[in-house]
Structure 1
Amino acid sequence: MISKNLLKQLLELQTKKGRKLKDKFLIEGARLCQEAIQSDWAVEQIYYSQSFKDSEAGRKFLSQAKQKKNNLLLVQEKVINKIAETETPQGIVALVQKKNFSVKQVLTKNPEIVLALENVKDPGNLGTIIRTADACGVDAILLSQGTVELYNSKVIRTTMGSIFHLNLVDKLNFPEVMPELKNSGYQIAATSPQNGKRIDQLDFSGKICLLIGNEAFGLSEQMLKLADIKITLPIFGKAESLNAAVACGIILYQIALQKNKSSNL
Structure 2
Amino acid sequence: MPLHMKKLILSMEEVGNRMEIITSETNKDIKKIIGLLEKSKNRRKEDSYVVEGLKMVFEIPKEDIREVYISKTCYENIASGNVDKKIVDVKSFNKEGEFELGFSYKVISDALFKKISDTVTPQGILAIVKRKHYKLNDILNRKVKKDGLPDKQVIMILDDLRDPGNLGTIIRTCEAAGVSGIILSKESVDIYNPKVVRSTMGAILRVPFYESEDLKEDIKKIKQENFKLYAAHLGGKKLYNEVKKDGAYGFIIGNEANGISDEVAALADELVIIPMYGNVESLNAAIAASILMFS
Q: TM-score, normalised by structure 1?
A: 0.86
Match of 1:8 in 2: 31
The offset of 1:200, in angstroms, is 2.3
The offset of 1:25, in angstroms, is 0.7
The offset of 1:223, in angstroms, is 1.1
Match of 1:72 in 2: 105
In structure 2, relative to structure 1, the CA distance for the partners of 1:196 and 1:54 (3 Å cut) is farther
Match of 1:225 in 2: 266
Q: 1:90-141 CA deviation, whole Å, 9 max, x = no partner? A: 1111110101112133334356011010011111111111111111111110
The offset of 1:67, in angstroms, is 8.1
How many pairs are equivalent?
A: 252
Match of 1:234 in 2: 275
Equivalents in 2 of 1:252, 1:99: separation in Å? 24
Answer yes or no: is the 8 Å Cα contact 1:113–1:208 preserved in 2. yes
Match of 2:54 in 1: 30
In structure 2, relative to structure 1, the CA distance for the partners of 1:134 and 1:109 (3 Å cut) is closer
The offset of 1:81, in angstroms, is 2.3
Structure 1 position 47 matched with structure 2 position 69: yes
Match of 1:161 in 2: 202
Provide the aligned C-alpha RMSD in A.
2.3
Unpaired runs of 5+ residues, structure 1, are 255-265
The offset of 1:30, in angstroms, is 1.5
Q: 1:43-97 CA deviation, whole Å, 9 max, x = no partner? A: 1222112322343327752628988733333332234224321232111111101
In structure 2, relative to structure 1, the CA distance for the partners of 1:26 and 1:218 (3 Å cut) is same
Structure 1 position 63 matched with structure 2 position 85: no
Q: 2:230 aligns with which of 169, 189, 194?
A: 189
Query: 3-state SS of the aligned residue for 2:60?
Result: helix
Structure showing the higher helix proportion among its residues: 1
Query: 3-state SS of the aligned residue for 1:239?
Result: coil
The offset of 1:171, in angstroms, is 4.2
Answer yes or no: is the 8 Å Cα contact 1:11–1:82 preserved in 2. no
Q: 1:146-203 CA deviation, whole Å, 9 max, x = no partner? A: 1111111111111111111110112431111011111112111111113331122122
Equivalents in 2 of 1:124, 1:33: separation in Å? 20
In structure 2, relative to structure 1, the CA distance for the partners of 1:207 and 1:105 (3 Å cut) is same
Residue identity in the other structure for 1:92: I
Answer yes or no: is the 8 Å Cα contact 1:42–1:96 preserved in 2. yes
Which shows bigger deviation, 218-227 or 105-114? 105-114
Structure 1 position 146 matched with structure 2 position 190: no
Answer yes or no: is the 8 Å Cα contact 2:139–2:182 preserved in 1. no
Residue identity in the other structure for 1:7: I
**Which 4+ residue blocks in structure 1 deviate beyond 3 angstroms?**
64-68, 108-111
Which shows bigger deviation, 6-15 or 142-151? 6-15
Unpaired runs of 5+ residues, structure 2, are 1-19, 93-98, 145-152
Structure (1 or 2) with the larger CA radius of gyration:
2
